Amino acid sequence: MSTPTTSNFEASDTDFDQGMDRPVLTLNDPPYPGYAYIISYRDTPEVITYHNEGVTISNYEGKLAQRWVCHSKDGWLGFTNDPGETTFFMGYHKPQDQTLVCNVNHHKQNEMFCVRKKAEEGFQILMRSGKDYSALWPVGKHKNGNIAVVRGSDDWWGFTKTP
C-alpha cells in the first residue's frame, strides 16, 4: 500500500480565514503533486468545495475547504481536502452515479484524475471510468448541480496554485 505524497506546507500555513490574503484566481496553474490549488468552475467565482464528506460548488471565499492538495500515484493525480491526519481523497464510489465525494483515505482507481490543459484558458479534468476503469471521461457539472463524471461534458476548470 502506498501513502500519499507529502505536501510542501503545514496545516497551520493553510488557513486563509486567519489573516492570509486570498489568492487571485488565475485559472491557469497546472496542478503538480505536493502543492495546493483552488479549482474553479470555468471562469466563474464558483470553486470546488469540501462539505460534509462531499464535494460541492460554492462561491470562492478563501476557506480551507476550498483548497485541494495534489498527490500522485502511478502517474495519476489525486486531490485531498486537507494535508492533516484526516486527509480524504476526492473521487466517486457509485459506478452508476459517479457524483464526486470526498470520504476515503486511499488513492485507488476511482480517485485518480488526469488533468489536460485546454488550448484556450483552463483545463479539462478526466477520471477513470467505464468497464474496468479503462476509459477517461470528463468531470463536469451534472444537470442536477452535482460535480460528477459526465460523459461528453465540455465543462472546463481553472487551477490556481495557493501560497
Q: What is the pTM of this model?
A: 0.85
- C-alpha 102/C-alpha 80 separation (Å) is 8
pLDDT at residue number 7:
35
Name which of 135, 138, 110, 134 is nearest 125 in CA terms. Answer: 138
pLDDT at residue number 41:
97
**Per-position pLDDT tens, the chain of length 163:** 333 433 333 333 344 454 456 778 989 999 999 999 999 999 999 999 999 889 999 999 999 999 999 999 999 999 998 766 678 999 998 878 899 999 999 999 999 999 999 998 899 999 998 777 888 999 999 999 999 999 999 999 999 999 8
Residue-range domain boundaries for the chain: 30-161
pLDDT at residue number 94:
83
Name which of 7, 62, 10 is nearest 40 in CA terms. Answer: 62
pLDDT at residue number 95:
79
pLDDT at residue number 16:
47
DSSP SS3 for 49: strand
Looking at domain 30-161, its CATH architecture is Trefoil (2.80)
Cell numbers describing residue 135: 476509459
